[in-house]
Amino acid sequence: WLEGISIAALVVGENCETPSHWRAKQLLSQWMESHNVPGISGIDTRALTKKIRENGTILGRIVYEYPENIKSLTFSDPNERNLVAECSVKKPMVFNASGSPRICAIDCGLKLNQIKCFISRGARVDLVPWNWSLDESTFDGLFISNGPGDPVVCKETVVQIQKVLISG
């Protein structure tokens, strides 16, 4: 969870077949193949970004041949799943146990660097799952990370945050 890359697919304008970074051990396409990550290149990613910005989330699929009946394609809508639950830690974790202040970080898709930023300032970080029952007497500050998908599925997180806000 804390290290590595999490990706379902990759869409790029150009795939460089000549690595130029001194630490590169393999081509991007080789890494993708070894991790079963599909990808496509030759896409105008600026135009795609503009289209998504103007129209909102758009379901898509990478296909290798143009389908005979495009209307027959079915799409899996990731927003029908709780993506936060899929990427959140399953049990609490403590970082810099002797640090202060004590920060409770709700993992809704947290990035490791967010924890590192707190630790570099001397804080203790208690990382908890997205649906953890919060007890405000156990922390000095509350951090809610961003994450994937539609936040409407995180009702349990909202209830816990409201509980903390009401108790003052």
Tens digits of residue pLDDT in 112-147: 999 999 999 999 999 999 999 999 999 999 999 988
- CATH fold for domain 84-167: Rossmann fold (3.40.50)
| pLDDT over 90 (residue 39) | yes
Tell me the C-alpha to C-alpha distance, in Å, between residue 157 and each of 79, 121, 129, 139: 17, 26, 9, 17
Sole residue written with tokens 């804390």: 2
- β-pairing verdict for 102-107 and 93-95: unpaired
Query: Given a cut of 80, is residue 5 above it in pLDDT?
Result: no
Single-letter amino acid code for the residue at 87: C
Domain range annotation of the chain: 10-76, 84-167
pLDDT digits (tens, 9 = 90+) for 61-110: 888 888 888 888 888 888 788 999 999 999 999 999 999 999 999 999 99
What's this model's pTM, rounded to 2 decimal places? 0.77
